[in-house]
Structures are given as C-alpha cells and as structure tokens.
Amino acid sequence: MSKIDNTLTSFIDIAADSDFSIHNLPYGIFSNAKDAADNNKRRAGVAIGEYVLDLAVLEAEGLLSLEGGPYFDQPTLNAFIDSGRDNWTQARSTIQTLLSSVSDTLRDNQDLQKKVLLKQADVTMHLPVHVPGFTDFYSSKEHATNVGTMFRDPNNALLPNWTEMPVGYNGRASTVIVSGTDVIRPSGQLKPNADDRPIFSACKRLDFELETAFVVGKGNSIGQPIAVDNASEHIFGMVLLNDWSARDIQKWEYVPLGPFNAKTFASEVSPWIVTMDALAPFKTACPIQEPKPLAYLNEKDSNNSYDIHLSVELLPENSDSATVVCETNFKHMYWSMAQQLTHHTITGCKVEVGDMMGSGTISGPTPDSYGSMLEIAWNATKPVTLKGGKTRSFIEDGDTVIMKGYSEKDGIRVGFGEVRGKVLPALNFDFNK
C-alpha cells in the first residue's frame, strides 16, 4: 500500500507541481452557483488537477457503488467516513481507476466528463465534515521550548509533563471554519500593566499557528480507550489548520485552566481532507523520544510520522506579493498522531467521526522554520520585514495568512492545497447603549 506506482497516470492534464495528482484524491464538500439557488445544496467531490470530480453524480450514474450507500449527495462526509475502512479503500480504488489513462469509462465519454468534472475555480468549498469535537495538542518540542524560553526559564523551558505525554486541551468545534472565511479581530481582557487592573480592548497580538489536524475516521465507546497500535485505524485523513490565537488575551486568562477565549474565535482548516492512504508513501520516523514513553504510549511502529513540507505566507492588504515567513516540516513533531489519539482516550474519553485534532504549532529547529509570529518575531523583539518594506511582529488588520503543505517523493506529489484567512478590524463595542 505504501509503495508509489510511478506508472499510474490520469487522462486529465495535471501540472507536475499540482497538489492534486492521481495519487492524492482528497475529499471535500462543494457547491456551485446553481446549488446556491437550490437551497444551498452541497455535495462531495474529489480534487484532481484543476478539477473537482463530482462524486454525487458518479454515484447516481452507478459508477461508484459502496456498501450501505449512497453517501455523496450530502453536505458533509461524515456518513461516508463512518461507513468504514472497506468503503474508503473501495472508493479510492474505484475513483483512481476511473481517472486513470488506462480506463475508457470516463476517458472516452465526453458527455460524462462534462457532468462529473467541474473547474475548481467555479465552485465554492465548504467545511468537509460536521465537527463534533475539536482538540488542540502542543506536540512540537521546538515550539514548546521556544515559548517556555520566552515566558519562563530558558534553562527549564519544557515543563516536566511535556516529555511524558502529548499535552492538549479541548477546544471549540463550533468555531472550526473553512479556508477563505474572514476572521474578525477578537476583543477581550488584556493586562498591559502588571500592577493595574485589566482593560477591555481589541487584541493587539493576533497570531497564526501553523498546524495540521487529523480527522477521526472511527470512534470508540465511552470507557474504552484506543490502543496505540490500533490508533492509526481510527484516523481518516489530515487537513492544514491555522489555529488563530490572541496571545495577549491568552497571557492573562490562561491561569489555571488553560486557554479559553484566546483560542475560540477561529480555527481555520483547508477544505480538502488528504487521506492517510494517500499519505502512506511519505511515512517517516518521529524524533527519538527520550525518556521512552510509558507503555500505553509506546508504539511498535517507529515509522509513525509523515514527511510533509509546510509553509506560511503573509500578504498585507493592497500588496502585490506574499512573503514566505516560515518553512518547516510535519516530521519535526515529537508526539505522533497515534500517541495523541491514545492519550486523548486513555481515561475512556469518547471520540467521534469528524472530530478534528490539531497537532499544535509545528516549529522546526531554525528561526526560518518557526510556526507562529510569536516565535518568528521573538515576542516582538525581532520584527519581520516583508516584501515592499512593511514590518510585522503580529498580524495586522487586512493581512491575509496563507498556509500550504505537500509531500513529494520520486516525482509524485500529494498536497493539501491551502488554508487562507484574512483579518478584519475588531467590532466597535459601545457598552453604554
């Protein structure tokens, strides 16, 4: 399953640097202008080159029949994902064959192509799943070390629990939003002066967090933890995640129960779920874990991470070109997704199909690979100069943040596309009205 078949090609013309090769086939939910007039109807598709393959039509035409279906003429992918791994495998193989250059069913049928292949430029993408729960981990050692160095003690940057467990918290599923959604600058309690009471203000230290999130593909029963060596069976795929953060709100509110308002206004995800089957050829080892984790977190498979190149671009308003402010890789993550899921459920916590679990900010070892402005500009002491001369320590109104990710090997590319979000000014509050 994890070997790349270089001979597999599509009859569709796909650019060599396209994220959406025939080896990828990520799932998303889309609509076009006609659907908007039809009760905002949404349905499922797969990205291929510059196109979306309409799975609802394929299903209606009898070209994609899955056990227990139909699944794709629906506004979310939850029912398909919940139908199980056998269907995931069959759908992938059927779709890959239909799109391949050796199969004539779609290749030689222009009418069918017109019905099932839509230009991505002509559709609107939506959240791919209903998200019952959103969890945010903190699993990059470099990120945790940088933050601990800045705010606590460079000699003891990591708290003692950090190397023993994937530290995390339960976030808000209701504010998981899809790429392209504008983000209103949040307001809340800030405490600029240690000796004074807090003030109510617009956030002055708005930041992005470069993350990925995995999508739970199979839940568990309450009281029944997921064993670490079975955990990968419970993961359907991954998306890019910009976990927007209000650093100054967080600094004052987080004691003693952790982040609250600072993290619950926008967790923005890319629209295409790249499946673990598509990412399998890019598996690689996690960093060495020292001390060796407790038995329940100890995986047999040390090849439990993925080689995924990640980047962040910043585009100020009325600016022609974006500046790359970070390039890093998912493989730097200290804790694996399997370990995160097992730790999450070890007390018996129930997870559900569609739950999203954020990796935590993914920082690499060098300053150009840090995954947040907090680290890149080192707590506003080293502002970044953008193309055109503007500088940034945090994100300003009108700025657009763009995150991209892809895996590449032997000339084969499997990518995520992007997650893109623009910051709008804070609301005007008038409490005397």
- By annotation, the residues acting in catalysis are 143
Pick the closer one to Ca ion by CB: 209 or 399: 209
Alpha helices in 117-161 (DSSP H): 141-151
* CB closer to Ca ion out of 143 and 331: 143
The CA distance from 77 to 69, in Å, is: 12
Nearer to Ca ion, 83 or 242 (CB): 242
> Closest distance between Ca ion and the C-beta of residue 170, in Å?
12
Q: 273 pairs with which residues across the strands?
A: 27
**Structure tokens, 195:** 């000796």
Nearer Cβ to Ca ion (142/243): 243
CB of 8 to Ca ion, least distance (A): 36
Considering the complex, state which of residue 49 and residue 188 has its C-beta at the smaller distance from Ca ion: 188
Tokens at 347, concatenated: 């007390």
Find the distance separating the first CA and the last CA of the chain, reported in whole Å: 63
Q: How many CA atoms lie within 13 A of 266 on its CB side?
A: 27
> Please, what is the minimum distance in Å from the beta carbon of residue 391 to Ca ion?
25
Q: How far is the CB of 304 from Ca ion (least distance, A)?
A: 21
Residues 132-151 that bind Ca ion (CB under 5 A): 136
Amino acid identity at 168: G
Phi, psi angle pair for 292, to nearest 5°:
-60, 130
Assess contact for 352 and 384: CB atoms under 8 A.
no
Residue span binding Ca ion (CB under 5 A) among the ranges 52-60, 205-213, 369-377, 398-406: 205-213
Of 11 and 254, the one with the shorter C-beta distance to Ca ion is: 254
Options 9-17, 201-209, 228-236, 269-277: segment touching Ca ion (CB under 5 A): 201-209
Q: How far is the CB of 268 from Ca ion (least distance, A)?
A: 11
Residues 107-136 that bind Ca ion (CB under 5 A): 136
29, 64, 108, 407 from 95: Cα distances, Å: 16, 8, 16, 21
Of 174-182, 206-214, 372-380, 418-426, the segment contacting Ca ion by CB under 5 A is 206-214
Which residue, judged by CB position, is nearest to Ca ion in the bound state?
A: 243
Nearer to Ca ion, 209 or 248 (CB): 209
Which residues are bridge partners to 327 per DSSP? Answer: 311
Q: Is 313 in the site for Ca ion (CB under 5 A)?
A: no
Number of residues that bind Ca ion (CB under 5 A): 3
Tokens matching residue 256: 């003693």
The contact mask relative to Ca ion for 225-254 (x = CB under 5 A, - = no) is: ------------------x-----------
Stretch that binds Ca ion, among 23-31, 175-183, 208-216, 391-399 (CB under 5 A): 208-216
Out of 19, 59, 209, 313, name the contact with Ca ion by CB under 5 A.
Answer: 209
Pairwise CA distance, residues 23 & 187, whole Å = 44
Distance of CA 361 to the CA centre of its chain: 11
Of 166, 102, 174, 160, which is closest to residue 139 (Cα–Cα)? 166
Nearer to Ca ion, 243 or 299 (CB): 243
Smallest gap, in angstroms, from Cβ of residue 375 to Ca ion? 13
Contact 254, 188 (CB under 8 A): no
Residue 123 structure tokens? 């559709």
CB of 217 to Ca ion, least distance (A): 22
Distance from C-alpha of 369 to C-alpha of 236, rounded to nearest angstrom: 27
Interatomic CA distance for residues 64 and 367, integer angstroms: 47
Cβ–Cβ < 8 Å for 139, 334: yes
**Cβ 384 to Ca ion, closest distance in Å?**
20
Choices 207-215, 300-308, 321-329, 398-406 (CB under 5 A): range interacting with Ca ion: 207-215
Q: Which residues face 290 on adjacent strands?
A: none
Tell me, residue by residue from 361 to 380, as one string, x for binding to Ca ion by CB under 5 A and - for no binding: --------------------
Containing H/E element for 279? helix 276-279
- Contacts to Ca ion by CB under 5 A: 136, 209, 243
